């Protein structure tokens, strides 16, 4: 950059005519009075031709800027597509409606009906049952982790507007198992995120838990979710092994 005390400087080259090197924003004008040069010395007025090197650098910068802009547009379009799939899934009245065969489980001595509803469509007593069952089954596991168990935070999670529930009913009146899940965006992907799979002790080890996971996978596929995700405590060895086998 030129010194701030000069508006311009005259450079000479034996092989080229005299030209002006201007600071950005400088207006072209006649050579100042008192110059030792004759007034007939050539003064170029207007833009100076860029050197091949400068032109190449400008082209390279322009190309990189266009590439970055195009990449941003593509990333935005991809994220819009992800969000559109999640929104479409959340607009469904019943994601299980198209699969009536999965609304019943009658194996291994069980005969239960299964429904899928948003948390807003559940009776308060059913929500309380789901919370109490989760607390009974999971409180010790939470307390053995750095998270700890907090009633208020867990209830808020389970009653979030985005929450969906699979509920397994015995005799269509007694809830015996449930899964809390959501259609959501996780790490840039459209996913069905499983928050809970909880069963009453009397219906465990009869295949019902695995059946609920299969329903989650089915709904994830039908709504074009990329994957089913969940979080499990490493020290909860039984659940860890169960989910590894169920999600294969």
Whether 51 is in a domain gets the answer no
Whether 65 is in a domain gets the answer no
**Confidence band of 130 (pLDDT split at 50, 70, 90):** very high
Whether 113 is in a domain gets the answer yes
Range of the domain at 184: 92-246
Does residue 111 surpass a pLDDT of 60?
Answer: yes
Looking up tokens 């701030």, which residue turns up? 4
Whether 124 is in a domain gets the answer yes
Q: How many domains does the chain have?
A: 1
Residue 22 pLDDT: 45
Burial environment of residue 214 by CB neighbours within 10 A (0 to 12, 13 to 18, 19 or more): middle
129: Cβ–Cβ under 8 A, 6 or more apart, which residues? Answer: 175
Q: What does the pLDDT look like over 80-92, one tens digit per residue?
A: 899 999 999 999 9
Whether 6 is in a domain gets the answer no
Q: In 61-163, which ranges are E strands?
A: 104-105, 112-118
Whether 241 is in a domain gets the answer yes
Q: What is the pLDDT averaged over residues 38-48?
A: 47
CATH of the domain at 111: 3.40.630.30
Whether 140 is in a domain gets the answer yes
What pTM was estimated for this model as a whole? 0.72
Whether 204 is in a domain gets the answer yes
């Amino acid at each position: 950059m030129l010194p701030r005390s000069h508006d311009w400087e005259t450079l000479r080259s034996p092989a080229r005519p005299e030209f002006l090197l201007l600071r950005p924003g400088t207006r072209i004008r006649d050579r100042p009075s008192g110059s030792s040069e004759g007034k007939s010395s050539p003064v170029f007025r207007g833009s100076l031709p860029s050197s091949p090197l400068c032109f190449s650098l400008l082209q390279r910068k322009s190309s990189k800027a266009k590439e970055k802009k195009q990449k941003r547009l593509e990333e935005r379009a991809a994220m819009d597509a992800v969000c559109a799939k999640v929104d479409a899934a959340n607009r469904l009245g019943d994601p299980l409606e198209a699969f009536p065969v999965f609304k019943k489980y009658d194996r291994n001595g069980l005969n239960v009906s299964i429904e899928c509803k948003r948390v807003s469509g559940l009776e308060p007593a059913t929500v309380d049952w789901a919370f109490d069952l989760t607390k009974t089954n999971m409180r010790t596991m939470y307390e053995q982790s750095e998270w700890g168990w907090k009633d208020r935070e867990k209830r808020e999670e389970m009653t979030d507007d985005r929450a969906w529930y699979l509920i397994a009913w015995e005799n269509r009146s007694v809830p015996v198992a449930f899964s809390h899940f959501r259609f959501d965006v996780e790490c840039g992907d459209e996913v069905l995120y499983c928050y809970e799979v909880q069963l009453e002790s009397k219906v465990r080890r009869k295949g019902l838990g695995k059946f609920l996971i299969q329903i989650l996978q089915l709904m994830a596929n039908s709504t074009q979710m990329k994957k089913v995700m969940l979080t499990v405590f490493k020290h909860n060895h039984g659940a860890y092994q169960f989910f590894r086998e169920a999600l294969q």
